[in-house]
Amino acid sequence: MATKKTFNSATEKHCLTCAAHLPKDDEAVYCPTCEIRPVHLGYTDAQLRTAFSRVEPYGNWKNPIRQSFSPPLSGAERALISAAVGFFTGESAKFIEEEHETTVVGRGYYVVIGA
């Protein structure tokens, strides 16, 4: 009977991107390579996750996205959020610009994959 290797989160810690082993007492969640390595459109994993968290649907990240920002997003914020939505859901977000706010709309992972 094969023994199953169980990840012990009390004593082991791994890079969020590549699963490389990290020292348990290290504050880092990425290995030094992934910390600075672009994974999508020039952005790092950490940048993409942080940006996606700003538009992530409540309860389930795979649901449709609709999040408004006031004041409106800057060009740099839009570019990063657009990349993040593309990275996580497989389809770019749409940006609806109004005088005092930007609304980010995405069909969401479930719809994009046809689930």
Please report, as ranges, the residues that interact with Zn ion according to CB under 5 A: 15, 17-18, 20, 31, 34
Structure tokens at 68: 């408004």
Q: Which residues pair with 105 in a beta bridge?
A: 66, 94
Asked if 66 and 105 count as a contact pair (C-beta separation under 8 A), the reply is: yes
Asked if 93 and 55 count as a contact pair (C-beta separation under 8 A), the reply is: yes
Q: Decide whether 35 or 91 has the Cβ nearer to Zn ion.
A: 35
Q: Decide whether 31 or 55 has the Cβ nearer to Zn ion.
A: 31
Could you tell me the smallest distance in angstroms from the CB atom of residue 21 to Zn ion?
Answer: 10
Q: Decide whether 14 or 66 has the Cβ nearer to Zn ion.
A: 14
